[in-house]
Amino acid sequence: MPQFAVILSDYGGFGIEMVQALEAAHAQDIAKAQHPTGSLSAIPAELLDGQDRRKLLRA
């Protein structure tokens, strides 16, 4: 099953959560169940390879 990086932001802070899902929309649905008030976006996890995650979160 593909892995997605879900970038989330809510009142408690922000972060990246790795989620296994069939597609990006499904990964967002899974993360939304755990973080119902946050805004989030999902990208394929392999796009994070070699990236500085702190810089990504600041952007």
Per-residue confidence (pLDDT) for residue 14, from 0 to 100: 86
Residues sharing a CB contact under 8 Å with residue 51, sequence separation 6 or more, in sequence order: none
Q: Give the domain extent around 38.
A: 3-58
Per-residue confidence (pLDDT) for residue 38, from 0 to 100: 84
Q: What is d(CA 9, CA 31) in angstroms, rounded to the nearest whole number?
A: 11
pTM of the full structure: 0.81
Per-residue pLDDT of the chain (59 residues), as tens digits, is: 899 999 998 887 888 999 999 999 999 999 999 888 889 999 999 988 888 888 877 76
Per-residue confidence (pLDDT) for residue 21, from 0 to 100: 95
Give the total number of structural domains in the chain: 1
